[in-house]
Amino acid sequence: MRNPILALGAFSLSLCFVLQTPMTINAQTDLADSDEFFQRTSRTGPERDHTQKIEDLLKRMTLEEKVGQMTQLTIEMIASGKDQNIKVDPAKLEKAVVKYGVGSILNVYDQALTLDRWQEIITQIQEAATKKNRLGIPVLYGIDSIHGANYILGATLFPQEIGMAATWNPELMKRASEIAAIETRAAGIPWSFSPVLDLGRNPLWSRFWETFGEDPYLAKVMGVAFVRGLEGSDVSSDQQVASSLKHYMGYSFPLTGRDRTPAWIPENYLREYFLPTFDAAVKAGARTIMINSGEINGVPGHVNRQILTDILRTELGFKGFVVSDWEDIKKLVTMWRIAPNEKEATRMAIMAGIDMSMVPLDYSFADHLIALVKEGSVPQSRIDEAVRRILRVKFELGLFEKPMPNAALKSKFATAESRQVSLQAAQESMTLLKNENNILPLAKTAKVLVTGPTSDSLISLNNGWTYVWQGSEESLYPKDRHTIRRAIEAKIGAGNVTFVQGTKITRRPGSTSNNTPTDIDEEVDIAAAVEAAKNVDVVVLALGEGSYCETPGNITDLTLGEPQLKLAQAIQATGKPVVLVLVEGRPRIINRIADGAKAILMAYNPSNEGGTAIADVLFGDVNPSGKLPFTYPRTPNGLINYDHKPFETENTSFGNMAFNPQFRFGDGLSYTTFTYSDLRLGKQTISANEELPVSVTVTNSGQRAGKEVVLLYVSDLVASISPPGKRLRRFAKISLNPGQSRMLNFTLRSDDLSFIGADNKRTVEPGEFDVRIAGLSQRFTLK
């Protein structure tokens, strides 16, 4: 049964068979059209009205109890020990949930735990909160389930968001987040700090891989999929969790590219590119939002009332609660220096719109806020407003009725079916960027050298937010998942595979002056790899990155490490064909070695099933269908997005160079070929309130079945704000057998022709527009 329509911009797609040939449709792919998905994934299900319960509870609460609900502490504040030896400390727990009435606890310290341990810990927390606390208000536990329930050992993990974006399959994204929700809730944890809805428009940024790429429309569709999978039609179900949209907003676009450094973003650009993902996810029912840890135009996100209240509450109509990021109220003093002390920082943040503070290592927030209210610096009404929002989410999650973990959910944890979904996601994310003379797929009888620093590493396949924050603890990774090396050995037999590492990526601890750990590229045995290459038919060279997250991932140069480039050039010098596999969270510069590679496969961070998925593609058991969700730069400073202004790359009178990235947004090859024809517009002239029908025919003109991502762009030829060359407005993913054709019918409306004007308002201007699909283009006029 379909869900009610979500009004996020009307547009429809229908599929008409042109050539009637037998086929089997994979519904999880063929129904993954962007607008069709929107129409089925609105917030659904009857919502219970908890207003009276909330008001009754508020009347009974003291100021201290209300402020307690606004306080979030990390798990180490209620526990002793760490890693696998962590255990709840009864005295610490009682101080937190009884004395201070803390409303939320989060995180691990520092390692992922088993499902049984989580259930034990959550049970102890909720027993204290519901039985020892005067009002029995349950704790809202939060965790970073970023690519699956990654802080629960044995959970099903999925490609990181950038890889999920490369699938262009929102149905698959929704299914992945449904599994993440079930497995997170199985631990007794009802709140996930995901999805990341920042745009990846600067690939230098260390959290680039946590985004859905550079385009706001793609990110909006995939973000809604993520939210709907987590929250479902009834978030009180013991198989759903509350989402937390992050990091609202503009966090991903620091001027330097380094994490948590200043961004300078004009408001019209902020609204055009960075707001739509959050707007769509709010309309899709997201319960909570986490705030940008940086600043925009000199104003830190945590005190930006225009963003936190005027836009989020008044314009978007957000009804949930807003949580700070880690220590970010304290950082208003220590880092951003806009407040003289923590007490004033607390006042500024609360009055700007923060409802809950991720303090998280002391009780200072509660002490300061209580004092601020008593002295009249923060009105009681603002406290009540924040606590209403927090209590509403707790009621909506069903925590008052079912605060304890459900032991029965163990049967739905890490199932074979869930693992298969993870494998499918990894397979569909694989993006073939080069395939000279159709060297791929490789024959399973080939003699293969596997080399490179990411070739035998589950850490690289996963990246950060995997078992520990930085994803760097090898002992926690499963022993029954294949690295690229092991997957190739399983595919063609170990006797056909030679392995020489060549180089390695080593995690170095921070120095006394800089406590940030860093990854270092080091040579291991390049000469041995070169010698081994002489005795094989083909070399699979796996390069890329180790694991990193947030500030520890900061770099100043996107160029791939010199030892890796040296290894690649040495292998290429042997004359043996090289298949380059890139396992990386952001596009590292490879211009010195790209031409010498016969094939290039972009794997992103495909997670624990990634090794198998890579081998499936390399040896032809899976036909690749991923498309780049970002522009892959050719040079360190060649950071131009696909939707750049035409004059940036075409005005040769000013000496501007042509747009020449290593690979373009939307690039991705297949083992078959697709031909586009008959792009038609239903009208040549429309008015602002009219729809524009668009149709195109796609044919599989190759020799094997395959999936194709169809991208529809619109170009505004003249506008009062200089227009981009083109903007993505729709996409679909379809399956075609050899010789089969389909006609796709789209409908565009005025919103698809609009932009944010100089007055920071959305506007539609008359003029000429081009519709572009593949190499086809048609023009129409808007009156």
H-helix segments, 624-665? 646-650
d(CA 180, CA 242): 12
Q: What average pLDDT is seen over the chain?
A: 93
Q: How confident is the model at residue 45 (pLDDT cuts 50, 70, 90)?
A: low
Host H or E run for residue 180: helix 170-186
Instruction: For 151-195, write each residue's pLDDT tens digit.
Output: 999 999 999 999 999 999 999 999 999 999 999 999 999 999 999
Host H or E run for residue 686: strand 685-686
d(CA 317, CA 314): 5
Q: Check pLDDT > 70 for residue 740.
A: yes
Which residues form the catalytic set? Answer: 325
| Residue % of the chain over a pLDDT of 70 | 93
User: What's the CA dihedral at 352, 355, 361, 364 to 10 degrees?
Assistant: 70
Q: Which residue matches tokens 């048609």?
A: 778
The residues, any chain, with a CB within 8 Å of residue 1's CB and separated by 6 or more, are none
Q: How confident is the model at residue 112 (pLDDT cuts 50, 70, 90)?
A: very high
Paired sense of beta strands 685-686 and 727-736, if any: unpaired
pLDDT at site 22:
28
Return the structure tokens found at 166: 């490369």
| HEC per residue, 540-598 | EEEEECCCCCCHHHCCCCCECCHHHHHHHHHHHCCCCCEEEEEECCCCCECCCCCCCCC
Instruction: State mean pLDDT over 47-63.
Output: 95
Is residue 711 a contact partner of residue 33, using CB atoms and an 8 Å limit? Answer: no
pLDDT at site 654:
58
Hey, which residues does 748 pair with through a beta bridge?
692
Q: How confident is the model at residue 130 (pLDDT cuts 50, 70, 90)?
A: very high
d(CA 488, CA 456): 11
| Residue % of the chain over a pLDDT of 90 | 90
Instruction: State mean pLDDT over 101-121.
Output: 97
**Lowest-pLDDT choice from 16-30, 422-436, 565-579, 605-619:** 16-30
Q: How confident is the model at residue 650 (pLDDT cuts 50, 70, 90)?
A: low
pLDDT at site 771:
98
pLDDT at site 31:
43
pLDDT at site 396:
97
Q: Check pLDDT > 50 for residue 69.
A: yes
d(CA 322, CA 312): 10
d(CA 165, CA 143): 22
Hey, which residues does 583 pair with through a beta bridge?
544
d(CA 711, CA 542): 30
Q: Cis omega before residue 310 (within 30°)?
A: no
What's the chain's Rg over C-alpha atoms? 26
Q: Supply the DSSP string of 240-309, one letter for each residue.
A: --B-EEEEETTTT--TTS-TT--B---HHHIIIIISHHHHHHHHTT--EEEE-SSEETTEEGGG-HIIII
Q: Which of 78, 64, 71 is nearest to 102 (CA)?
A: 71
Q: Check pLDDT > 60 for residue 13.
A: no
Instruction: For 539-549, write each residue's pLDDT tens digit.
Output: 999 999 999 99
Is residue 23 a contact partner of residue 740, using CB atoms and an 8 Å limit? Answer: yes
Q: Check pLDDT > 60 for residue 19.
A: no
Q: Check pLDDT > 60 for residue 7.
A: no
Instruction: State mean pLDDT over 92-104.
Output: 97
pLDDT at site 656:
61
pTM, to two decimals: 0.94
Host H or E run for residue 633: none
